[in-house]
Amino acid sequence: MDKRIKKWLLDIQETIKTIESYFEGEEKDFNKYIQNGMRKKAVERNLEIIGEAVNRILNFDETYAEKISDARPIVNLRNYIIHSYDSVSDENIWSILITHLPKLKTEVENLLIHNNT
């Protein structure tokens, strides 16, 4: 694995851990999430970072579009949050946190383990 791709995958892994830390010691609850503006903005910012890292990976090696599920939608989410910041849906972000982020975490961990050269 190219060292740049490894770095970007590690960035994604670390950013997911950061997002998870925002909920440490408590049950993930949508109502609590939407009431905490600072946490919402922090999550959105970290999703931007993940999207940018995936974008860099794809620009460097397009084959990762097949190795990372929803790679293009992850990049699109980054662009959406940045450019349409005033219409970001809390429900959509929550769905990503609950449904898609755990899958991405597993995929990134597997890529790092199985391609550690």
For 25, the token pair is: 């010691």
pLDDT tens profile 14-66: 999 999 999 999 999 999 999 999 999 999 999 999 999 999 999 999 999 99
Q: pTM higher than 0.75 for the full model?
A: yes
**Whose CA is closest to 15, among 91, 105, 90, 116?**
105
